[in-house]
């Protein structure tokens, strides 16, 4: 369907995507866990933070160039991992990859990609950073195979998702009885010599272990822990390890103790534990615990350039978005995904100009008013003793 008016913000793209996507696919992308409190909070919590702009500064030259894992990137805005891009557009993750290369930052590819990791990185321009998202399965050989393929293909980091020992209860998917279309394949679980061959077509993949039903049945390792997971991953790859799903100071310290390269403050887009803090609210305690010993990134709820600015001001080195890119993909394929990224990029540059900052390194907490003491956390009550205040947020 054609639209005469081009979208001017992410909310516009979201509305278009909802109109053009099948109901089940839209529900899969848009749903959160249970009552969707955390998913809703991810967006609305940004509104509790206000900006503190400075005037009469030379803002004639704005740059968003920064470094991530010691590598230069054009912008701190990257693409978060999300499964099944071909639900949004037939070109799937290949189109997203081309948009990422044009945009100039980082793309994190989901394990549950409908395009093989080799095909995805081949769409890059040689300068784009690609990171590989990973789940660890009971049969760790499955995960190890993906890690080794990613390292061989040129991915620059492994992003270990740690907030999904079991999938959250997503009521929209349950009501829709959503199942991905049978013609789609999770190509990262297939023989790379087959899936990357010139004669490959999705409908040629007939074996049971190349279908969604079998792959989603590959049980996650619920015994995975800091002690047995990070050391194992370090034993099979030299790539930096980034832990995705951290929301607390305690887990940030454990990531430092286990010599991880970074943490992504994330609640899985509100799709796992409903009632957890929004990511922008969790970010300050993670940054404080990191104490510049580990890089901190964030995803969840970012819909405007000012959201990116606020996250950077509170200490995130980079931020990642998923749903806006998927909506762009549904709207107009590669071009739509780039439009979504470019809208956010231009809004970030405008926010920088209007706050009197000209480069990412200048953005700090002095530019943000933060809400005070909305939540407190206490220690476990001991008989005959008062509770100890552990944290104010």
- Active-site residues: which are they? 268
Phi, psi of 176 (to 5 degrees): -80, -10
Give the SS3 label for residue 159. strand
What does the block give as tokens for 33? 């866990």
Q: Are strands 368-369 and 50-51 parallel, antiparallel or unpaired?
A: antiparallel
Where are the alpha helices (H) located in the chain, listed in sequence order?
A: 10-20, 23-30, 37-44, 92-103, 117-122, 140-153, 171-176, 192-195, 212-216, 231-236, 249-257, 279-290, 305-313, 323-355
Query: How far, in Å, CA of 41 to CA of 36, rounded?
Result: 8
Taking CA atoms, 342 is separated from 214, 250, 339, in Å, by: 37, 36, 5
Give residue for tokens 């809400």: 371
Query: How far, in Å, CA of 344 to CA of 318, rounded?
Result: 13
Query: How far, in Å, CA of 345 to CA of 64, rounded?
Result: 9
What does the block give as tokens for 375? 């939540």
Phi, psi of 368 (to 5 degrees): -135, 135
Q: How many residues does the chain have?
A: 393
What does the block give as tokens for 270? 């509100």
Give the SS3 label for residue 87. helix
Identify the CA nearest to 86 among candidates 29, 142, 147, 152.
Answer: 29
Residue 358 is inside which H or E element, if any? none
């Amino acid at each position: 369907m054609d639209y005469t008016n081009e979208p001017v913000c992410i909310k516009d793209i979201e509305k278009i995507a909802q109109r053009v996507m099948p109901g089940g696919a839209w529900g899969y992308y848009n749903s959160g866990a249970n009552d969707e409190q955390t998913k809703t909070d991810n967006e609305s919590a940004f509104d509790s933070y206000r900006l503190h702009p400075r005037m009469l500064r030379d803002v004639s030259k704005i740059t968003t160039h920064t470094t991530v894992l010691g590598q230069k990137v054009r912008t701190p805005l990257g693409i978060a991992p999300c499964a099944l891009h071909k639900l949004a557009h037939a070109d799937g993750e290949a189109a997203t990859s081309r948009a990422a290369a044009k945009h100039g930052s980082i793309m994190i590819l989901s394990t549950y990609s409908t395009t093989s990791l080799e095909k995805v990185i081949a769409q890059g321009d040689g300068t784009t950073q690609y990171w590989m998202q990973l789940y660890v399965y009971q049969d760790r050989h499955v995960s190890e195979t993906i890690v080794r393929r990613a390292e061989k293909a040129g991915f620059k980091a492994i992003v270990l998702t740690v907030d999904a020992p079991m999938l959250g209860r997503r009521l929209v998917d349950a009501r829709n009885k959503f199942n991905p279309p049978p013609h789609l394949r999770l190509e990262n679980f297939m023989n790379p010599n087959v899936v990357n061959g010139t004669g490959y077509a999705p409908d040629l993949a007939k074996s049971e272990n190349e279908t969604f039903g079998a792959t989603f049945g590959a049980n996650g390792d619920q015994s995975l822990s800091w002690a047995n997971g990070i050391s194992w991953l370090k034993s099979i790859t030299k790539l930096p390890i980034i832990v995705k799903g951290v929301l607390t100071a305690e887990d940030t310290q454990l990531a430092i103790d286990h010599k991880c390269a970074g943490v992504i403050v994330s609640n899985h887009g509100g799709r796992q534990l409903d009632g957890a803090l929004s990511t922008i609210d969790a970010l300050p305690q993670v940054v404080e615990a990191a104490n510049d010993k580990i890089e901190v990134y964030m995803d969840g709820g970012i819909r405007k350039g000012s959201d990116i600015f606020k996250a950077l001001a509170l200490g995130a080195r980079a931020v990642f978005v998923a749903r806006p890119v998927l909506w762009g993909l549904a709207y107009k394929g590669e071009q739509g995904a780039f439009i979504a990224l470019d809208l956010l990029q231009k809004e970030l540059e405008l926010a920088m100009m209007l706050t009197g900052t000209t480069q990412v390194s200048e953005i700090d907490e002095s530019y943000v008013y933060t809400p005070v003491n909305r939540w407190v956390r206490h220690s476990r009550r001991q008989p005959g003793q008062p509770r100890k205040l552990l944290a104010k947020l």
